[in-house]
């Protein structure tokens, strides 16, 4: 059995309630940290654990905390990014819905480490039912002296609130999230300055993903060494992988980083193989934004090594033959799948979600969708395929925020690995599937 850090008790009935969570040892990390550790020691544990941001970028969490401006004298904020919207990703909902106190405990620890007195959990508006579960848990935490004034008699005080979004993928970008939390349009800010210096209400702020935050209690309880002994290379600890598509057992799995992808797809412990005994065609391994890989390259790297679930292994070969671990949204496609049509749904998504602030993304995402629609419906030309590559190149790296890259990479990679399928659409003047 693989090590479980986040989903250890996930099947325990009533886990969302304070009593059950407490009985299972919950809030012991808060007790330990607030009573025995300084904020800097908490940050130190997280830094040394090697934990990396689980929202998709994989940035070292402790380092991000280290950037926070403590000199300005302004209030500091700790914000949880629960705007889970990356297609293929549904792991944060799993935590928020079933184990809200774990998230709250992580929020208290992070807030304490950063010196925040008010913290927010920003959750996508569609997940209002999860917001209500979290708000109920927050109320329980207040009642039991874990939030509010003078927590556990330690002198540390914290208010925690849950804020709904309004339906906008872009608010998963941390500065767009902060704008949204300020009651504005979700337009990403131009950086620098970064949130660690100028964040929420112009004050130093750290934004972390749900899964990242939910990992902190375990690190505090068990020590950084225990955490960094799990995993492989610079991919420490465990990762939630949300698996979907054409597999027998879609769902949220906690894996130890370094697990062979072949095992993840075919073992009964995880995805249980491809549905109907079909053949694996392609995988988008880290949420819709990351490059798609054909079966042979997802199972093995270009050099023939087994591909592992880790930041390093998934990106091995660069974009030429590799991809990214991303958010852990694992989308599996069998041989009946039309790659062009799947890509069209992604392109439509990014077009729909572009905030419209900067011109390459605003204009380019819609353009790519139109061309893909044309190709998929049998009205495309060979020139269109190169044009798509061209547009994606001109969006990539040229936008205010990473949504541009996220829209460009799927297009570029699908054509890189499945060009023949695009050409077939053009030649047949229809979709061959």
Partner 1 sequence: MTKFSAESLPIVNRILKQYPEGKQKSALLPLLHIAQAENNGWLSAETMDYIASLLEIQPIEVYEVASFYSMFNLQPVGNCVIEVCQTGPCWLNGAEELLAYFTERLGIKAGETTADGKFTLKTVECLAACGNAPVIQVGTDYFENVNKQKAEELLDKWQKENKISHTNPYL
Partner 2 sequence: MPLLKLTIDNIEVEVEPGTTIMNAARKIGGHVVPPAMCYYSKLEGSGGKCRTCLVKVSQGSFKDNRPMPKLVASCRTLVQDGMVVQNTTSPEVIENRRAITEFLLLNHPLDCPVCDQAGECHLQDLSYQNGLEETNTDEARRTFAPIDIGNLIKLHMNRCILCYRCVMVADQITDSRVHGVLGRGDHSEISTLIKKAVDNDFSGNMIDVCPVGALTDKTFRFKSRVWFTRPFDAHRKCTKCSGKTVLWMKGEEILRVTGRKDKYGELEEFICNDCRFVYKQPKDWEIEGPRKIERHSVISQNHYEKLDNEENEDKIEA
256 forms beta bridges with 238
- The item of partner 1, partner 2, none sharing an interface with residue 347, based on CB under 5 to 8 Å by kind, is none
Of 25, 129, 386, 427, the one binding partner 1 (CB under 8 A) is 129
Q: Is residue 357 involved in binding partner 1 (CB under 8 A)?
A: no
Q: Is residue 168 involved in binding partner 1 (CB under 8 A)?
A: yes
**Three-state DSSP state, 121:** strand
Q: Are 202 and 288 in contact (CB under 8 A)?
A: no
d(CA 117, CA 135): 18
Where are the strands (E) in 183-237, listed by range? 205-209, 231-232, 235-236
- The item of partner 1, partner 2, none sharing an interface with residue 267, based on CB under 5 to 8 Å by kind, is none
d(CA 149, CA 73): 21
Taking contact as CB under 8 A, which single stretch among the options 140-148, 309-317, 328-336, 367-375 is the one that binds partner 1? Answer: 328-336
Nearest distance, CB of residue 390 and partner 2, angstroms: 8
Which residues have C-beta within 8 Å of that of residue 193, sequence separation ≥ 6? none
Torsion sign over Cα 10, 16, 20, 25: positive
Closest among 98, 100, 93 to 124, alpha carbons compared? 93
Closest among 409, 363, 355 to 175, alpha carbons compared? 355
33-46 burial, b at 16+ Cβ within 10 Å, e below that, comes to bbeebebeebbbbb
Q: Is residue 185 involved in binding partner 1 (CB under 8 A)?
A: yes
The secondary structure of residue 192, as a DSSP letter, is S
Contact set with partner 2 (CB under 8 A): 168, 185, 190, 351-360, 362-367, 370-371, 387, 390, 394, 397-400
CB atoms under 10 Å from CB of 155, counted, come to: 9
Q: Map residues 20-59 to x or -, x wherever contact with partner 1 holds by CB under 8 A.
A: ----------------------------------------
192 cis-preceded (ω within 30 degrees of 0)? yes
Nearest distance, CB of residue 166 and partner 1, angstroms: 3
Of 342, 354, 365, 413, the one binding partner 1 (CB under 8 A) is 342
Taking contact as CB under 8 A, which single stretch among the options 119-127, 232-240, 258-266, 380-388 is the one that binds partner 1? Answer: 119-127
For partner 1, the closer of residues 289 and 301 by Cβ is 289
Q: Is residue 353 involved in binding partner 1 (CB under 8 A)?
A: yes
Closest among 343, 353, 356 to 412, alpha carbons compared? 343
Cα–Cα distances (Å) from 37 to 29, 76, 170, 223, 425, in that order, read: 10, 19, 36, 12, 62
For partner 1, the closer of residues 60 and 164 by Cβ is 164
Which residues have C-beta within 8 Å of that of residue 423, sequence separation ≥ 6? 382, 385
Q: Is residue 333 involved in binding partner 1 (CB under 8 A)?
A: yes
Q: Is residue 114 involved in binding partner 1 (CB under 8 A)?
A: no
Q: Is residue 348 involved in binding partner 1 (CB under 8 A)?
A: yes
For partner 2, the closer of residues 242 and 357 by Cβ is 357
Q: Is residue 211 involved in binding partner 1 (CB under 8 A)?
A: no
For partner 2, the closer of residues 39 and 404 by Cβ is 404
Q: Map residues 284-313 to x or -, x wherever contact with partner 1 holds by CB under 8 A.
A: x---x-------------------------
193 cis-preceded (ω within 30 degrees of 0)? yes
Angle formed by the axes of helices 100-114 and 28-36, nearest 10° = 10
Q: Is residue 366 involved in binding partner 1 (CB under 8 A)?
A: no
Q: Is residue 148 involved in binding partner 1 (CB under 8 A)?
A: no
For partner 2, the closer of residues 145 and 202 by Cβ is 202
Nearest distance, CB of residue 351 and partner 2, angstroms: 7
Nearest distance, CB of residue 60 and partner 1, angstroms: 25
The C-alpha angle 70, 72, 76, rounded to 5 degrees, equals 55
**Three-state DSSP state, 308:** strand
Q: Which of residues 258-287 bind partner 1 (CB under 8 A)?
A: 284
User: For binding to partner 1 (CB under 8 A), which residues are involved?
Assistant: 75, 84-90, 92-93, 118, 124-129, 131-132, 159, 161, 163-169, 180-186, 201, 242-246, 250-252, 284, 288, 329, 331, 333, 337, 341-342, 345-346, 348-349, 352-353, 355
């Amino acid at each position: 059995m693989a090590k479980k850090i986040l989903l250890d008790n996930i099947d325990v009935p009533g886990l969302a309630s304070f009593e059950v969570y407490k009985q299972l040892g919950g809030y012991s990390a808060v007790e330990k940290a607030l009573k025995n550790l300084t904020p800097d020691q908490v940050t130190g544990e997280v830094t040394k654990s090697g934990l990396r941001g689980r929202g998709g970028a994989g940035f070292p969490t402790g380092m991000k905390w280290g950037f926070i401006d403590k000199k300005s004298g302004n209030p500091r904020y700790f914000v949880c990014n629960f705007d889970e919207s990356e297609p293929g990703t549904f792991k944060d909902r799993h935590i928020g819905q079933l184990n809200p106190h774990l998230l709250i405990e992580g929020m208290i620890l992070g807030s304490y480490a950063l010196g925040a007195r008010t913290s927010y959990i920003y959750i996508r508006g569609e997940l209002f039912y999860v917001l209500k579960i979290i708000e109920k848990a927050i109320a329980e935490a207040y009642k039991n002296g874990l939030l509010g004034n003078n927590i556990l008699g330690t002198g540390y005080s914290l208010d925690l609130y849950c804020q709904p979004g309004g339906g906008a993928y872009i608010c998963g970008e941390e500065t767009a999230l902060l704008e949204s939390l300020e009651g504005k349009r979700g337009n990403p800010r131009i950086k620098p300055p970064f949130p660690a210096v100028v964040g929420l209400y112009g004050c130093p702020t750290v934004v972390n993903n749900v899964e990242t935050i939910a990992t902190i209690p375990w690190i505090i309880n068990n020590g950084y060494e225990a955490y960094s002994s799990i995993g492989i290379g610079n991919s420490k600890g465990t990762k939630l992988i949300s698996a979907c598509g054409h597999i027998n057992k879609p769902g949220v799995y906690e894996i130890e980083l370094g697990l062979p992808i072949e095992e993840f797809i075919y073992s009964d412990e995880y995805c249980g193989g491809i549905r109907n005994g079909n053949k694996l065609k392609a995988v988008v391994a880290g949420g819709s934004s990351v490059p798609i890989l054909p079966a042979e390259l997802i199972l093995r790297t270009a050099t023939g090594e087994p591909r592992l679930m880790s930041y390093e292994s998934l990106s091995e070969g660069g974009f030429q033959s590799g991809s990214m671990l991303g958010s852990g949204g694992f989308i599996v496609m069998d041989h009946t799948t039309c790659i062009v049509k799947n890509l069209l749904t992604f392109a439509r998504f990014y077009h729909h979600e572009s905030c419209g602030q900067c011109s390459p993304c605003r204009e380019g995402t819609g353009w790519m969708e139109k061309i893909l629609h044309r190709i998929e419906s049998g009205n495309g030309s060979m020139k269109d395929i190169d044009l798509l590559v061209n547009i994606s190149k001109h969006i990539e790296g040229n936008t205010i925020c990473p949504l541009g890259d996220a829209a460009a990479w799927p297009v570029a990679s699908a054509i890189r690995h499945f060009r023949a399928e695009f050409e077939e659409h053009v030649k047949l003047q229809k979709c061959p599937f």
